[in-house]
Amino acid sequence: NAGVTQTPKFQVLKTGQSMTLQCAQDMNHEYMSWYRQDPGMGLRLIHYSVGAGITDQGEVPNGYNVSRSTTEDFPLRLLSAAPSQTSVYFCASSYSRGAGPSYEQYFGPGTRLTVT
Amino acid sequence: KNEVEQSPQNLTAQEGEFITINCSYSVGISALHWLQQHPGGGIVSLFMLSSGKKKHGRLIATINIQEKHSSLHITASHPRDSAVYICAVSPSGSRLTFGEGTQLTVNP
């Protein structure tokens, strides 16, 4: 299994440009999430999905869109990039172990985005 | 005040030392996670626990649900343990709330 993959690894955008960060997992996990990591702030949840066709907002959703048309893919779209979106973006997938409410997390390698 | 607080923020140790990183949280949780982020940036899950104690090699994680507190211990630390250690909690479902992380440096 490749696990969770993200592309691209690095990206530089100009203010106002749009782009899509790709995330895919081959573990048949039902849950997928996007986080951003900024210095001194820890990871913050942008959007998440509990299954194909179902998405919801996290803590910092403004300026981002997501969709989940398949179990495997969960792309993150930046509609009009702003310097405040300069960050490292992580995609994660998870599944529920057994009957309990605990979810083992698997992270992608991250995408480092700079908006100038 | 953050829902998840870690201490210390930075920790420097000599090889072989016993290391403890602490995590306190203020919300009800279904599970607590300890994650490791190496200088290359990748994040891996070390432990997921909802009660008691777990051990994997030289790493031990404990949680006290009543006190809303968890600790990550590293025995016989080694320079390859140098990384950022992140505590995260699941208030519900698969969503995580993260601490800011503890930067650990182990010198030879």
For A67-79, write each residue's pLDDT tens digit: 999 999 999 999 9
Distance of CA A85 to the CA centre of its chain: 13
Q: Please name the residue that has the structure tokens 């990183």.
A: B21
Residue B19: CB atoms within 10 Å? 19
Per-residue model confidence (pLDDT) at position A101:
57
Chain A nearest C-alpha distance from B26 (Å) = 16
% of chain B exceeding 70 in pLDDT: 99
Q: With an 8 Å Cβ cutoff, is B95 touching chain A?
A: yes
Chain A nearest C-alpha distance from B42 (Å) = 5
> Mind listing the pLDDT tens digit for each residue in B54-84?
999 999 999 999 999 999 999 999 999 999 9
A18-46 exposure pattern, b = at least 16 Cβ within 10 A, e = fewer = ebebbbbbeeebbbbbbbbbeeeebbbbb
Chain A nearest C-alpha distance from B92 (Å) = 8
Residue A97: CB atoms within 10 Å? 12
Substitution target in A37, A49, A59, A103 with the highest count of B β-carbons within 10 Å is A103
Which residues make Cβ contacts (< 8 Å) with residue B40, sequence separation at least 6? none
Per-residue model confidence (pLDDT) at position A97:
66
